[in-house]
Amino acid sequence: MAVTMKDLAKYAGVGVATVSSYFNGGRLRPANREKIERAIRELHFEVNEVARGLRVDHTKTVGVIIPELDNQFCAQIITSMEDELRQYGYATIVCDCRTRPEREREAVDFLRRKRVDGIINMPVDGTGGHLKVFTDTERPVVVIDRELPEIECDQILVDNQSAVRKAIGLLLENGHKDIGLLGGPENVATARERLLGYRGALEEAGLPFRPELTEHTDYTISGSREKMEAFYARVPDMTALLALNYETTAGALMYLNEKGIRIPEQLSFIGFDNRDFAQAARPRLTIVEQPTSEIGLQAARRMLARLSRKEEAFRIIKLQARLLMGGSVRALNE
């Protein structure tokens, strides 16, 4: 059915090895090159990547494992990643593990059996043990967003401490001292880092850390909404609130809106992630914006680099978040 390299070689009147060499950038006599090119045009030949893959043992495919696709943060990262990878001929196989470690482990195994050339992973399992079966095959792994100290590989992270410090810094500048923090679960590494940033910023400013001013959530909208109730009742004197991810931002906003607590008059507010949301809210939210596209791009670049030249030491890259100014922070001083 399909025209093969052998057909092409016969049609062009050259050996099959010559044709192969043509496609792999070898040196050719101009006459032969011309003959082959004409044959390709006339036969509409296309090399069979599967056959090539069998021979050279790579599939030009990379696997991506994420906690949940249905999450703008992940989706944005994958968008830029896929774009870059495809530009270099690599296909992106996504696996959504629904934030479940056992499904993450299954995904690694699935991708290994699919013989992907590499895996990019936003890990759920903080030990990284799930990646062992893959790294054993000598293939590269790039970890994104959540640091995996026990795994030797490239990692593209966000400087979460600094991100939070920027937000707290803005609040401090505006005279806030009693700053509430709506944080994440204690077992999520990035949530811990952000909490650390909060404590660090306060300490630097010579302010005491008041434990009752921080609340942990499960990082879901409804969960955050629930927690806010008791939280705000407990410390009514807080003048500002920082939510540590998209879900807590939405959940907090939900509660504040319901109760008619006005932003920023009664409470200054800084959110995290999700530009749409921040722009549509009233007033426009001041938010910490993570460099999602940049994460995806860098991860793809790192993967491509590993795939072409093996050597080179592993890199851990920390990207900076930035503060997007809205109208949800009130100046207490002046």
Contacts to a second copy by CB under 8 A: 46, 48-51, 53-54, 59-61, 68-72, 75-76, 78-79, 82-83, 86, 91-96, 110-111, 113-115, 221-222, 250-251, 253-254, 257-258, 276-277, 279-282
The DSSP string of 78-100 is HHHHHHHHHHTT-EEEEEE-TT-
Integer Cα distance of 215 and 180 in angstroms: 8
User: Closest separation between CB of residue 251 and a second copy, Å?
Assistant: 7
Could you say which of a second copy, DNA, none residue 325 binds, taking C-beta under 5 to 8 angstroms by partner kind?
A: none
Token pair of 91 as six digits? 């296909």
Could you say which of DNA, a second copy, none residue 122 binds, taking C-beta under 5 to 8 angstroms by partner kind?
A: none
> Which CB, 20 or 135, lies closer to DNA?
20
User: Closest separation between CB of residue 134 and DNA, Å?
Assistant: 18
User: Closest separation between CB of residue 296 and DNA, Å?
Assistant: 29
Q: Do 92 and 78 meet the contact criterion of CB atoms below 8 Å apart?
A: yes
User: Closest separation between CB of residue 303 and a second copy, Å?
Assistant: 16
Residues binding DNA (CB under 7 A): 1-2, 4-6, 9, 13-21, 23-24, 26-29, 31-32, 45-48, 51-52, 54-56
> Which CB, 161 or 292, lies closer to a second copy?
292
Strands (E), the chain: 61-66, 91-96, 118-121, 141-145, 154-158, 179-183, 214-216, 240-243, 268-272, 286-289, 316-319, 322-324
The number of C-alpha atoms within 13 Å of 168 and in the hemisphere containing its C-beta is 27
Interaxial angle between packed helices 16-23 and 30-43, expressed in degrees from 0 to 180 and rounded to the nearest 10:
90
Could you say which of a second copy, DNA, none residue 287 binds, taking C-beta under 5 to 8 angstroms by partner kind?
A: none
